[in-house]
Structure 1
């Protein structure tokens, strides 16, 4: 869509030779060239993905949630919408005890 630089209304397209855009409100007319010119944009570069977790180290937030398997008091968590939008989010936990690493969820 193109808009009139004078009054801001949407321009109408008219197929005639040469084709043109025109404004129904004011006398603005923009003739279209018969040739199309392609402008080259900026070249995109491949980027390395950013790691979310490095090794055993958890990047996410932690909370005081007891593990149901080993009763360790700290766990990392993240939330995700697994059901419809009017339902609460599901919380996924991972025990921060290195020998346990148990994962569980709360619906």
Structure 2
């Protein structure tokens, strides 16, 4: 939204007509502001992906508690290592992260 610098009213948009470009105009005073149709890029900035540290380290995974009551959804193996974390609001239950203990699988999943 653009406002008139002289009277403060909301400017209205007018479509281009013949050789006149599109513009904003004030309905109560003679103020007019032409709109440029070309966009100029001043500089290009290359984005660099920031290296993120994992929430659970490799040591946490190796020394974490194990459970027999969970089945890996990827390979069907019956043992997994787990960690719990509160990633949502306090009135929501904790999220449990699992890592399959099958050497061939090693996948991870979570249960909310």
Higher helix share: 2
- TM-score, normalised to structure 2, is 0.44
